[in-house]
Amino acid sequence: MKNIFNYTLVELENYFLSINEKKYRAHQLYDFIYNKKINIINDVTTFNTLLKENISKEISLDTLTLIDKKVSQDTVKFLFELDDKEKIETVIMKHDYGNSVCISTQVGCNMGCSFCESGRLKKVRDLEVYEMVLQVLMAEKHLNERVSHVVIMGIGEPFDNYANVLKFINIINDNKGLNIGSRHITLSTCGIIPKIKDFMNEGLGVNLAISLHAPNDIIRDKIMPINKVYYINNLIKIVREYIQKTNRRVTFEYIMLNDINDSETDALELSRLLRGINCYINLIPYNETSNSAYKKSNKEKILRFYDILKKNKINVTIRKEFGSDIDAACGQLRSKY
Ligand code: SF4
C-alpha cells in the first residue's frame, strides 16, 4: 500500500485516471489532506462510499509515531519513529516572521562531520518522500498553526537523497497543498559539487545554504571528510557559477568551534575567500553535547570574528541560539535512544 504523502498532485491525477475517475478527484483529495487535515479517507465528504472503499485498499494516510517531544520557549523538538522502528528528529523554531520547521532527510548520515551528532551515527537509509512531508504536517498539527518556512537541514545530507528531496520540495511547494513558497524553503548541503550543479539546473528557486565551517582545506579536512573529495576552492567555484546562473544569493553556514576555526586569521582568510560573492555568512554558536570533542567559541570571539567579516564587507549574521536547553543539537535526541 502506498502512502498518500508520496504523491505529487500530477501523480495523484494519474492515479485517479487509472481507476477510471476524473482528474479533479485528485484536487479534492489534496485539499482534504493538506488544507482540511483529515486523517482517514472516510472523512473525504465529496467522495461516495464505493470510491472511499476502493482508495482505502490502495492508499494509506498513515502518519509518523511521536515517541518524544521537548519543548522550550522558541523551539519544539520531536523524535518520530518510522514503520521500520528507525527514529528521526524534526525541530520547530518559532521566529517573529513565522514558524520554521527543520526536517531530516535520512536516518543517520554518512558525511561524518566531526562536530555533528548525526554524523556519529552512520546512515541507515534514505527517508521516503512521505516521511519528509509528514514531518511538516506533524509540526503543523502540534502548532495548530501554519508552517511558513522549511529548512532541509536536519539529520542527513539532502543531496545524498537527491530524487526524494526534490520531490518533497515539489510537494510542499504546490499551491494546492501546503503552499510553502520556494523563497521560504532552504536546503543545506555539506558541498557535494556534482549535485550542486544538478540543483542549479532544476530552476526551483529555493534557497541554497552551504555548510562551509572553515576558511581553508587544512581546517575543513579535519572537521568535514567531504572536503577530501571536493576541495574548498572547487566548492567556491561552483557556488559562484550557481549564483550567476540562478541569480540567487547563497548562504554559508559557519559553526564556531573554539580554537579550531574561530581565530582572527581565520576570519581574515574567510573574508578573502568570499570576497565579491553575493552571499552571506551565518555564524552558528556551537551546541555542545556530552559527546562533543569540541567546545563552543565564547561570545567575545564570535563578535570579534563577526566584526572582521563586517569590516571586510562580508554580509554576516550570528544565528540565534535555539533550544540549547532541550538537546537541540542535530541528532542529539535520536542518539539518546
Ligand atoms: S553536519 Fe550534516 S552532512 Fe555533516 S554529518 Fe551532520 S547531518 Fe551529515
Exposed/middle/buried for 286, CB within 10 Å: 0-12, 13-18, 19+?
A: buried
Quickly state the pLDDT bin for 18 (edges 50, 70, 90): very high
Q: What is the mean pLDDT of the chain?
A: 93
Alpha helices (H) along 115-203 = 117-120, 129-143, 162-173, 193-200
Q: Which of 89, 111, 162, 211 to mutate to test the pocket of ligand 1 (most atoms within 8 A of CB)?
A: 111
Q: Ligand 1 within 6 A of 119 CB?
A: yes
* Residue 119 in this model has a pLDDT that exceeds 80: no
* Residue 328 in this model has a pLDDT that exceeds 80: no
Quickly state the pLDDT bin for 128 (edges 50, 70, 90): very high
pLDDT for 287: 86
Residue 116 known to be catalytic: no
Q: What is the mean pLDDT of residues 40-66?
A: 95
Would you say the pTM of this structure is higher than 0.85? yes
pLDDT for 120: 74
Quickly state the pLDDT bin for 117 (edges 50, 70, 90): confident
Q: What is the pLDDT of residues 165-194, one digit of tens each?
A: 999 999 999 999 999 999 999 999 999 999
Quickly state the pLDDT bin for 325 (edges 50, 70, 90): low
**Neighbour count for residue 278 (Cβ, 10 Å):** 14
Quickly state the pLDDT bin for 60 (edges 50, 70, 90): very high
Q: What is the mean pLDDT of residues 55-72?
A: 94
Q: How far is CA 291 from CA 79, 288, 298, 330, in A?
A: 19, 8, 19, 13
Q: What is the pLDDT of residues 270-323, one digit of tens each?
A: 999 999 999 999 999 998 877 788 999 999 999 999 999 999 999 999 987 766
pLDDT for 331: 60
Out of 89, 128, 157, 253, the active site residue is: 89
pLDDT for 268: 98
Asked if 331 contacts 121 with a C-beta cutoff of 8 angstroms, the reply is yes
CA dist., res. 106 & res. 112, Å (int): 13
Residue 89 known to be catalytic: yes
Q: Ligand 1 within 6 A of 113 CB?
A: yes
Quickly state the pLDDT bin for 159 (edges 50, 70, 90): very high
* Residue 332 in this model has a pLDDT that exceeds 70: no
Sheet containing strand 149-152, strands side by side: 65-71, 75-81, 87-95, 98-102, 149-152, 185-189, 207-211, 250-256, 279-285, 315-318
CA dist., res. 208 & res. 188, Å (int): 6
CA dist., res. 44 & res. 41, Å (int): 6
User: Which has the closest alpha carbon to 118: 291, 319, 295, 297?
Assistant: 291
Cα 294 to ligand 1 centre (Å)? 15
CA dist., res. 55 & res. 180, Å (int): 27
User: Which has the closest alpha carbon to 135: 176, 95, 96, 165?
Assistant: 165
State CA 46 to chain mean position distance. Answer: 35
pLDDT for 260: 98
Phi, psi (degrees; rounded to nearest 5) at 114:
-75, -15
Residue in this structure with the C-alpha cell 467522495, named with its chain if needed: 47
Q: Ligand 1 within 6 A of 267 CB?
A: no
Q: Ligand 1 within 6 A of 152 CB?
A: no
Quickly state the pLDDT bin for 99 (edges 50, 70, 90): very high
* Residue 205 in this model has a pLDDT that exceeds 70: yes
CA dist., res. 93 & res. 114, Å (int): 25
Cα 105 to ligand 1 centre (Å)? 11
Angle at 267 between CA 258 and CA 274, to 5 degrees: 130
Q: Ligand 1 within 6 A of 108 CB?
A: no
* Residue 326 in this model has a pLDDT that exceeds 60: no
